[in-house]
Each structure stands twice: as structure tokens, then as C-alpha cells.
Amino acid sequence: MSDDFILDTDDLERRMDGAMASLRTEFASLRTGRASASMLEPVMVDAYGSATPINQVGTVNVPEPRMVTINVWDKGLVGKVEKAIRESGLGINPQLNGTIIMLPIPELNEERRRELTKVAAQYAESARVSVRNIRRDGMDQIKKAKADGMSEDDQKFWEASVQDLTDAFVKKVDEALETKQAEIMQV
């Protein structure tokens, strides 16, 4: 091993973990026919002059498997929260009951399930691209060190460790996608 070059594989791994965390967040927003508070995470409400997450304007609960309720704290925001949900593309029709907004989760039909699995596959592909871009950054650092006099054995060692890390994360993305697609297709 050359004493002057040590690739920061922890940094690469941290960045790849970030890509996985982003993928999990995107997967959580996909509706699976089961109620989940996380499906509302991407929905932003125009509250007090700025885009605010729903969980910061009310309490989100899942009282039963096919129902999400939002108890909006400020009466004046109920209409804005309802509008944000309608325009979110979640395909849910909110029902008002005072300051409580009820979101009945309808059964997904076969066609909608297939569409959602395709969306999940797109999310997974963008995560794979992120992981591969991080791999490329690591390989570029190795090439630069090679130009600065790193031995060929060291170059092969570092390239192998970056590739192993990449393969492990691509496998994690693929496993997460399989799990999510099975969850979506489950009736």
C-alpha cells in the first residue's frame, strides 16, 4: 500500500447510504392500498406564506388499515391542506369533518398497481444512477492518484474495493425494489 493515498471509502459509503435513504423516502410516498402516514410526507401545504409539510400543520393518524386522518391545528388551514392533498397526485379524495380531514384509501385496481410498480422501478433506477455516479467519483480519485505515482497494485486494490461497495449498494437497491413491488402487487 502506498502511504500517501488512502481513498475515503467511508465518504463513498455515506453518500451511497444517502442515495438509499432517498430511495426509501420515495418508496414510502408510493401508495400500496394500505394506509400509511408516510404517504403524505411529500405533500406540502401553503401555510403562513411558505411550503410546509402536512405533519407540521396537523396531527396525522392511521386509525384503521384503510383510513388516514389529519387533525389540522389551525382552522384557517383546513381548506389549504385539503387542496394540497387533492393536487398531490395521490389519487385520494379527502373528506372534511370540522378540523379533521379523513382520507379513505381505496383499493388499488390491477392497472394502477402495474403503474405503481413501474414508478417504483424508475425510483430504483435513479438510485442506481446515483450510486454509479458516486462510484465514478471514487474511480476518478484513483486515476488521479495513479497519475501522481500510485502503484498498479494499489490502483487495482482501490478499484476493487470501490467496485465491491458499488455492487453491494446496487444489490440493496434491487432488493428494496423487489420488496416494494411485491408489497404493491399484494391484494
The residue range of the domain holding 178 is 9-27+109-185
Averages of pLDDT over runs of 10 residues in the chain (187 residues) are 71 94 85 74 86 90 88 90 84 86 84 86 94 95 90 92 95 95 82
- Contact (Cβ atoms closer than 8 angstroms) between residue 16 and residue 105: no
Domain presence at residue 4: no
Burial, 126: exposed, middle or buried (Cβ in 10 Å; 0-12, 13-18, 19+)?
Answer: middle
What's 184's DSSP letter? H
Q: Based on the fold, state whether residues 91 and 121 are members of the same structural domain.
A: no
Strand partners, 65: none
Q: Based on the fold, state whether residues 124 and 156 are members of the same structural domain.
A: yes
Q: Which of 77, 104, 131 is the last residue of a domain?
A: 104
What's 90's DSSP letter? S
Whole-number Å distance between alpha carbons of 100 and 102: 6
